């Protein structure tokens, strides 16, 4: 996929996103299916009476469901849901009939980016400036890290 197609409205590069590239969602769904097919919950129920290792089995299942549910197959710029819920950035860009926030004169101080900061810091703003500078088709080689912990 081209840089342009993997460019989120917010300036994130979807090709770096855990929800887009990581196999954890598929593997979690596969594991849930396997556990269900083999009625593993019954085994875990008996096992937890003999060892503490299985005490949190239901919490583990809930976590696997959450991980399997975060998968993103289509970036927002290509019609996807963006960050997996109601995204104020997608709504704003579409209302303003823009291609992305890089076309907006107010992105530097826009509060709509606040929900992204715990995951992405200020990389969105830096990326938007790079999109303006290098263009949407070739900015990605200058992008900031998607996540601060990488």
SS (H, E, C) 117-138: HHHHCCHHHHHHHHHHHHCCCC
Q: Choose one of 9, 42, 68: the last residue of a domain.
A: 68
Domain that holds residue 43: 24-68
Is 106 a member of any domain?
yes
Domain tally, the chain: 2
133 and 104 in a common domain: yes
Q: Is residue 75 part of a domain?
A: no
Same domain for 60 and 113, yes or no, is: no
Please indicate, yes or no, whether residues 52 and 102 belong to a single structural domain of this protein: no
| Residue 111, phi then psi, degrees to nearest 5 | -75, -10
* Threshold 0.85, pTM exceeds: no
User: For residue 3, is it within any domain?
Assistant: no
pLDDT in tens, 93-146: 999 999 999 999 999 999 999 999 999 999 999 999 999 999 999 999 999 989
Tokens of 14: 């979807």
């Amino acid at each position: 996929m081209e840089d342009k197609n993997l460019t989120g409205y917010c300036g994130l590069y979807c090709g770096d996103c855990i929800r887009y590239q990581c196999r954890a969602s598929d593997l979690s769904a596969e594991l849930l299916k396997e556990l269900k097919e083999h009625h593993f919950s019954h085994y875990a129920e008996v096992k937890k009476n003999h060892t503490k290792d299985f005490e949190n089995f239901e919490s583990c299942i809930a976590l696997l469901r959450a991980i399997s549910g975060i998968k993103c197959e289509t970036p927002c710029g290509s019609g996807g849901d963006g960050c997996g819920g109601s995204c104020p950035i997608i709504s704003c860009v579409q209302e303003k009939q823009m291609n992305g926030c890089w076309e907006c004169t107010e992105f530097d101080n826009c509060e709509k980016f606040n929900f992204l900061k715990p995951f992405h810091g200020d990389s969105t703003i830096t990326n938007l400036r790079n999109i303006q500078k290098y263009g949407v088709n070739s900015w990605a080689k200058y992008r900031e890290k998607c996540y601060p912990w990488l």
